[in-house]
Amino acid sequence: MSDRKTTPREITFQVRRFDPDSDVAPHWGEYKLHVHDGMTVLEALHQLKAEQEPTLAWRSSCRMGVCGSCGMFINDLPQLACQTQVLHLGTDVVTVAPLPNYENVKDLVPDLEPLIEKHAAVKPYIISLDQIEINAPTGEFLQTPEERESISQFTHCIKCGLCLAACPTVATDPLFLGPQALAQAYRYSADNRDCGLHDRLEAIDLFHGPYQCHLAGACSQACPKGVDPAFAIQLLKRTLVLDSIGFGKKKSSVAKIMPLADVVKAIEEFAPPPRTV
Amino acid sequence: MNSNKPTAYNNRLGIKGWVYAGRYTFERYLYLGHRVSGLGLIAYMVLHIIETANRMRGVEAWQGLMALFASWPFKIIEYLLFAMAVFHAMNGVRLLVTELGFFLGKPREPVYPYSTSIKRHRPLTFVIMGLAAMIIILGGSSLFFP
């Protein structure tokens, strides 16, 4: 168990600095800080900013690994600063750099626009054949627990962008969709309520699509939420193969609709017991 | 372009991004090996066409070239080529199997500590790489000690 009473250890932080207004290329700043057990890299950066380097810039928000804002390249691995404890890194020198494979806006701030653009390109939403039902819903699309579990893992993506920073293919091919977008392409295409695989094919092209992935597994190693994008990409490849030989999802497999009256009835049926206090 | 606008720094790793596998897992090194061996085999194909084209220069030129290829340095290069071909083929089998969704397990709720498909298919990786190593060693013994 963490014990903050233990003597703090002096750790040297090498932080990559870049100011677009004055620098042509990044340089390294070195700072020393007494780190106690349990202190995260994000907490250390806050302390450095408060005590030593007020101009230091980074992006963060929730401090609990939910928002995905504080992705950084810590000791040569993409990690969330808020989930990385300094002493767990096991080194006396900790290097903190902005996520690679993105443009560096300032200090530790990457420009995540390509991530969002690629995510949007794969149409990350349910595409249903039943447009009448979509526009004027009469009920809810049914999904069994098994159908839900088959995609659930891939719905946990927080779009932190660590997977693109880890991916060796993204490093050399800027047009490669990358693990995040491809995982989301699979997540929606595999959803039993969706019939949009063919609509996504334009984005999931062959030259910059899933077949550029040679299963390095770096994205799955880096993912802080256990999404396992490499797994989703392999399943997407299988889906594409099955679809090309005529074993793809059939229209008959489109989710059935539960009328609203039945939905209300089901809610009543599974309603919690009355309060006792 | 507005010259007053601050310019972001291009932080793309480029070639270094796939050459340097750093602290990533074993499969990341296999990725590197697969790409390097693939490039090596493409280079060999080009050199092989140039080499066989020497036959057009007459029997003597061809025999001279063959004598050169029988020397030790070329035997070692030939062995490296063989090792690259075996590794690339065996790793290709691994990729083919996984691309069809086999040996990766089933999607599951991510519960910390997370189990990835990469870990789940590692036994297959070790078996295939073990086979590749055996073939490379046996091939080397037959090449160098016929």
Q: Residue B111: closest CA among chain A residues belongs to which residue?
A: A226
Give me B100's structure tokens: 């069809």
Q: Is residue B118 part of a domain?
A: yes
**Tokens 């804002």 belong to which residue?**
A69
> Which range has the worst mean pLDDT, A88-97, A228-237, B55-64?
B55-64
Rounded mean pLDDT of chain A?
A: 92
Return all residues near A108 (Cβ < 8 A) that are at least 6 apart.
A15, A16, A45, A56, A57, A58, A59, A72, A96, A97, A98
In a domain, B110, yes or no: yes
Q: Are A81 and A89 in contact (CB under 8 A)?
A: no
Q: Which CATH class is domain A113-260?
A: mainly alpha
User: Does residue B146 surpass a pLDDT of 80?
Assistant: no
What is the pLDDT at residue B1?
46
Q: Which of A25, A153, A221 sits opposite B107 (nearest CB)?
A: A153
- Tokens 């899933």 sit at which residue? A210
CA A201 to mean position of chain CA atoms: 22
| pLDDT value at residue A234 | 97
pLDDT at residue A17, rounded to an integer: 98
Q: Is residue B135 part of a domain?
A: yes
Which amino acid makes up residue B47? L
- If you count residue pairs, one on A and one on B, with CB atoms under 8 Å apart, how many are there? 150
How close is the nearest chain B Cα to the Cα of A256, in Å?
23
Give the CA distances from residue A124 to residues A167, A179, A210, B52, in Å, rounded to whole numbers and listed in that order: 21, 14, 16, 52
A3 has pLDDT over 60: no
Please tell me which of A68-72, A194-198, B15-19 the model is most confident about, judged by mean pLDDT: A68-72
- Rama region for A36: left / alpha / beta (φ>0; ψ in -120 to 50; rest): beta
Q: Is the pLDDT of residue A4 over 60?
A: no
ipTM of the complex: 0.89
- The pLDDT value recorded for residue A171 is 96
From chain B, the residues in CB contact with A150 under 8 A are 106-107
Within an 8 Å CB–CB cutoff, is residue A74 touching chain B? Answer: no
- Block residue for tokens 């149409």: A123
pLDDT digits (tens, 9 = 90+) for B98-107: 999 999 999 9
For position B4, what pLDDT does the model report? 59
Q: Hey, is the C-beta of B112 within 8 angstroms of any chain A C-beta?
A: yes
B48, B97 in Cβ contact below 8 A?
Answer: no
Residues 6+ apart with CB under 8 A from A74: A41, A81, A84, A89, A94, A95, A96
pLDDT at position A249 over 50: yes
Put simply, the answer to whether A217 touches B116 (Cβ < 8 Å) is: yes
* Residue B2 C-alpha, separation from nearest chain A C-alpha, in angstroms: 13
- Tens of pLDDT, residue by residue over A94-152, are 999 999 999 999 999 999 999 999 999 999 999 988 888 888 888 888 888 999 999 99
- Residue B105 belongs to what domain range? 25-144
Would you state the pLDDT for residue A136?
84
Token look-up 């999607």 returns B107
Tell me whether B122 touches chain A (CB under 8 Å): no
Which residues of chain A make contact with B128, given a CB cutoff of 8 A?
none
pLDDT of residue A275: 86
Residue B3 pLDDT greater than 60, yes or no: no
DSSP secondary structure letters along chain A: ---TTSPPEEEEEEEEE--TTT-SS-EEEEEEEEE-TT-BHHHHHHHHHHHT-TT-------SSSSS---EEEETTEEEEGGG-BTGGG--SEEEEEPPTTSEEEETTEEE-HHHHHHHHHT--S---S-HHHHHS--EEE---HHHHHHHHGGGG-----HHHHH-HHHHH-TTS-HHHHHHHHHHHHTSTT---HHHHTTTS-SSSSGGG-----HHHHH-TT---HHHHHHHHHHHHHHHHTT-S--GGGSPPEEEHHHHHHHHHHTPPPPP--
- pLDDT band of residue A252 (cuts 50, 70, 90) is low
Is B2 among the domain residues? no
pLDDT score of A220: 97
Residue of B nearest to A240 (CA): B100
pLDDT greater than 80 at residue A251: no
The per-residue pLDDT of chain B, averaged, comes to 91
Homologous superfamily (CATH) of A9-111 is Beta-grasp domain (3.10.20.30)
Q: What percent of chain A has pLDDT over 90?
A: 74
Q: How many other C-beta atoms are found inside a 10 Å radius of the C-beta of residue B44? A: 17
Answer whether residue B136 is part of any domain.
yes
Q: How many CA atoms lie within 13 A of B134 on its CB side?
A: 6
Among B7, B11, B95, B106, the residue to mutate for chain A (most A Cβ within 10 A):
B11
Q: The whole model's pTM is what?
A: 0.90
**CA angle (A52 as vertex; A51, A57 as ends), nearest 5:** 100
Mean pLDDT, range B56-63, rounded to an integer: 91
User: Are the CB atoms for B104 and B117 separated by under 8 Å?
Assistant: yes
Say if CB A210 and CB B72 are below 8 A apart.
no
Question: Does residue B68 sit within a domain?
Answer: yes
What phi and psi, each to the nearest 5 degrees, are found at residue B75? -65, -40
Residue B94 lies in a domain: yes
* pLDDT for the residue A216: 96
Taking 70 as the threshold, does the pLDDT of residue A250 lie above it? no
Would you call B109 an interface residue with chain A, using a CB distance cutoff of 8 Å? yes
pLDDT of A24 reads: 92
With 50 as the cut, is the pLDDT of residue B91 above it? yes
pLDDT tens by residue, A152-201: 999 999 999 999 999 999 999 999 999 999 999 999 999 988 989 999 99
| pLDDT for res A271 | 80
Domains: count for chain B: 1
**Looking at residue B84, which CATH number applies to its domain?**
1.20.1300.10
SS3 B85: helix
Exposed/middle/buried for residue B99 (C-beta within 10 Å: 0-12, 13-18, 19+) = buried
Asked if residue B17 belongs to a domain, the reply is no
Kindly state whether A38 is in contact with chain B, defined as any CB-CB distance less than 8 angstroms: no
Chain CA centroid to CA B42, Å: 11
Percent of chain A with pLDDT over 70: 96
Structure confidence at residue A141 (pLDDT): 85
Q: How far apart, in whole angstroms, are the C-alpha atoms of residue B146 and residue B143?
A: 6
Q: Which residue of A has its CA nearest to B109?
A: A153
